[in-house]
A = this chain, B = another copy of it.
Amino acid sequence: MATGNARGAHEKEISSLRPFFDPRGVAIVGATRTPGFGYLLPLVLRRRGFAEQVFLVNPAGGELHGYPLLTSLEEVPDWVDLAVVLVPAPVVPQVLDEIGRKGIRCAVVESAGFAETGEDGKRLQEEARRVAASWGLRVIGPNCVGVVNTENGFSTVEVLDEALIPGPVGIVAQSGVFGNILLDMLPGLGVRISKAFTLGNRMDVDEVDALRFLERDPYTRVIMMYLEGAARGRELLSTLGEVAQRKPVLVLKSGRTEAGSRAAASHTGSMAGEDRLYDALFAQTGAIRADSLEELVDLARVFSTQPLPRGGRLGVVTTSGSLGALASDAASSAGLELPALSPATVARMREGAPRWMSVRNPLDVGPSGHFHKAMLAVMEDEGTDMVLGIYVVPYAVVKELEAMGLGWEILVGDLAQVRERAPEKPLVMCCLGKEEFVRGLQGLAGDGIPVLPSPERAARALSAIYQYAHRVRYER
């Protein structure tokens, strides 16, 4: 019995979070006829197919969207296992008490006005925490928007339809707005989500719980996380170390500087820890730390769509020598190698190439029209482990082609074919120029090939996936 106890307790703790994502029934406490989230959430859940599982609670009674407004939690059926709390902060401890008494074991508290507002709020939050703990209630929040589960379409926040297209990326965000913004932004960049946690002030459920949950979630292959200080530093360290062995964990942490720490502390009520400590910590665990929000998103795009490379040898094909040089600089600084092309690739490219074309790596095809051929050749080159294709063309050329009744797609060639030619190699594209053109190229690339907006960012993301693959292969 002794052996495996910790693990068993652990499993149980994690499985206690299941109703947050897949509730049998949901009580919405604070549903209301006044415009706002208490008015909208029932509509959102009904639209997502949860009409029969939703129960609205408001002491004022009456009706909303055809549902009766139950005057007390006691009227909610006993099989309801999740409560979403939208009432003003001062009432929250009492509502949590009623939820606990009802036998509900999970609550999302979206209300703000707790530790993030100062001493009074801290006391209120502590009171709420004590009440919840006395009932063994698991709480996400307060000051959050709860969860999203694309597997069944359940969410405690209104999100765009495209954010619910299922995919491999699990999200852990501290603040609600920030989580919301990620959910708005990521689908347009081809990042598909499995589950999202917004943790808010982390009265109970924190990033350690979220990591453990996503580690076991079969739909989640990659975890992206935004942290503003760790609630439990030691546990975060050991958990990251274990989770990162199984799934890439991409982390952005604010509070790098004193000013950032103060800002973070004031809005989700947590003190951001010592930054250098975190850097060391992340490096030990194998979690991948992003330097900026943009890098976090770039990493999510590349890690969720590309295979892990065998090595760090990068082949670059470009229509602009300058952008090729910038990519080479960034790749090289980030620890990637730009190997010489194999003799077979050189021979293949020389054939039919214009005199001015230098067949080397980066392979600058200029306006030769050999971009597609070069992409195929460099993908198939045995000396490369990953490929970056930089495609730019002056928009005047696009317009000329259009005037001739041609689409500029013919210049780029079939990118799906390029992708298939070496499925084991990460492939990233880079494109910049007129907005319409960049969007068009993203359309041609589809969700399976990330198109990044700068050569430096593309090279850094490829370096990160190489570093991770290397660690997984050789250091474990």
Chain A positions within 8 Å of B, measured between CB atoms, are: 35, 40, 89, 112-113, 116-118, 121, 157-160, 173-175, 177-178, 180-181, 183-185, 188, 226, 228, 252, 254-264, 266-268, 272, 291-294, 316, 319-333, 338, 355-358, 360, 362, 364, 366-367, 392-396, 400, 404, 432-435, 437, 453-457
The residue of chain B having its C-beta at the shortest distance from the C-beta of A275 within the complex is B329
Chain B residues near A178 (CB-CB < 8 A): 320-323
List 28 A-B pairs, Cβ < 8 Å: A35-B404, A116-B356, A118-B358, A173-B322, A175-B322, A177-B394, A178-B320, A180-B394, A184-B395, A255-B329, A256-B329, A262-B360, A263-B316, A263-B321, A263-B327, A263-B328, A263-B364, A266-B360, A267-B324, A267-B364, A267-B366, A268-B321, A272-B325, A292-B457, A293-B326, A294-B453, A294-B454, A294-B457
On whether the beta carbons of B121 and A356 are closer than 8 Å, the reply is yes
On whether the beta carbons of B328 and A259 are closer than 8 Å, the reply is yes
Q: With A158-B396, A294-B453 given, is the CB distance from A112 to B366 under 8 Å? A: yes
Nearest-neighbour CB distance to chain B for A156, whole angstroms, equals: 12
Nearest-neighbour CB distance to chain B for A332, whole angstroms, equals: 4
Chain B residues near A175 (CB-CB < 8 A): 320-322
Among B40, B257, B367, point to the contact of A400 (Cβ < 8 A): B40
Nearest-neighbour CB distance to chain B for A225, whole angstroms, equals: 12
On whether the beta carbons of B456 and A322 are closer than 8 Å, the reply is no
Q: With A160-B396, A178-B322, A328-B259 given, is the CB distance from A455 to B293 under 8 Å? A: yes
The residue of chain B having its C-beta at the shortest distance from the C-beta of A267 within the complex is B321
**Bound form: Cα–Cα A230–B362 in Å:** 21
Counting from the closest, the 10 A-B pairs by CB-CB distance are: A267-B321, A260-B329, A158-B396, A257-B332, A180-B394, A178-B322, A254-B325, A259-B332, A264-B325, A263-B325
Among B181, B329, B400, point to the contact of A254 (Cβ < 8 A): B329
Chain B residues near A321 (CB-CB < 8 A): 116, 175, 177-178, 263-264, 266-268
* Known contacts A112-B366, A266-B321, A266-B364, then 7 further A-B pairs from the complex at CB < 8 Å, ordered by chain A residue: A40-B400, A116-B356, A121-B356, A174-B322, A259-B338, A263-B324, A293-B432
Nearest-neighbour CB distance to chain B for A85, whole angstroms, equals: 15
Chain B residues near A159 (CB-CB < 8 A): 396
Among B173, B355, B358, B457, point to the contact of A267 (Cβ < 8 A): B358
Q: With A256-B333, A259-B338, A364-B267 given, is the CB distance from A228 to B322 under 8 Å? A: yes
**Bound form: Cα–Cα A261–B400 in Å:** 34
On whether the beta carbons of B394 and A184 are closer than 8 Å, the reply is yes
On whether the beta carbons of B40 and A181 are closer than 8 Å, the reply is no
Identical chains bound together, number: 2
The residue of chain B having its C-beta at the shortest distance from the C-beta of A293 within the complex is B454
Chain B residues near A254 (CB-CB < 8 A): 322, 325-326, 328-329
Chain B residues near A395 (CB-CB < 8 A): 160, 184
Q: With A321-B267, A322-B175, A434-B188 given, is the CB distance from A332 to B364 under 8 Å? A: no
On whether the beta carbons of A319 and B177 are closer than 8 Å, the reply is yes
**Bound form: Cα–Cα A299–B121 in Å:** 41
Chain B residues near A394 (CB-CB < 8 A): 157-158, 177, 180-181, 183-184
Q: With A356-B112, A356-B117, A453-B294 given, is the CB distance from A322 to B267 under 8 Å? A: yes
**Bound form: Cα–Cα A254–B328 in Å:** 9
**Bound form: Cα–Cα A456–B260 in Å:** 11
**Bound form: Cα–Cα A226–B320 in Å:** 13
**Bound form: Cα–Cα A29–B292 in Å:** 50
Chain B residues near A261 (CB-CB < 8 A): 325
The residue of chain B having its C-beta at the shortest distance from the C-beta of A404 within the complex is B35
